[in-house]
Amino acid sequence: MSLSNEDKACLRSVWKEIGPSWPEHCPDAIYRMFLSFPSTKTYFPNFDISPGSPQIQAHGRKVADALNKAVEHIDDMPAALSDLSDKHSQELRVDPVNFKLLKHTMLVTMAANYPEILTPEVLLSLDKLMEAVSRVLISRYR
């Protein structure tokens, strides 16, 4: 399940096109997650969850920045995402099942906004990327 050299090459190339505008679209992925998987809202009890909510915008950008960092440091994600990993294990403690839900809505959002880029091969690499990031984030859970 780990990223092969082909995955990394694909992701570096694809991220040149997706990365710069991803912070604009990522909030949509968060919003889609709240709508499609209502249990995910339990982690954001104080959020305004209406479309275009400033909190969703801000959070979406935060998640996009983390994904950017992951691709930038694709050969050493555990080190690059170490602080985020600590935060998820000590403070946020999001149940691991939810990472797959956000992964799905991120992929849906990418497919909708970058249809020419989201070939089956690219979808495979992006899916693996997000699984790799999720593994890092939950790596210190117990």
Partner 1 sequence: MVHLSNEEKAAVTSLWGKVNVEETGGEALGRLLVVYPWTQRFFEHFGDLSSPSAIMGNPKVKAHGAKVLASFSEGLNHLDNLKGTFAKLSELHCDKLHVDPENFRLLGNVIVIVLAHHHGHDLTPTVQAAFQKVVAGVAHALGHKYH
Residues that bind partner 1 (CB under 8 A): 28, 31-32, 35-37, 51, 104-105, 107-109, 111-113, 115, 118-121, 123-124, 127
> What's the closest the beta carbon of residue 38 comes to partner 1, in angstroms?
9
In the bound state with partner 1, the residue whose beta carbon lies nearer, of 3 and 81, is: 3
In the bound state with partner 1, the residue whose beta carbon lies nearer, of 40 and 85, is: 40
Question: H-type helices in the chain, by residue range?
Answer: 5-18, 22-36, 54-72, 77-80, 82-86, 97-113, 120-138
Distance from C-alpha of 44 to C-alpha of 14, rounded to nearest angstrom? 31
In the bound state with partner 1, the residue whose beta carbon lies nearer, of 87 and 104, is: 104
> What's the closest the beta carbon of residue 10 comes to partner 1, in angstroms?
11
> What's the closest the beta carbon of residue 123 comes to partner 1, in angstroms?
5
CA angle 10, 14, 19 (to 5 degrees): 135
| Short-list 70, 53, 54, 67, CA closest to 23 | 67
Contact of 60 with 30, CB cutoff 8 Å: yes
> What's the closest the beta carbon of residue 68 comes to partner 1, in angstroms?
22
In the bound state with partner 1, the residue whose beta carbon lies nearer, of 38 and 54, is: 38
Contact of 30 with 115, CB cutoff 8 Å: no
- Taking residue 7's Cβ as centre, other Cβ atoms within 10 Å add up to 20
In the bound state with partner 1, the residue whose beta carbon lies nearer, of 109 and 134, is: 109
> What's the closest the beta carbon of residue 87 comes to partner 1, in angstroms?
27
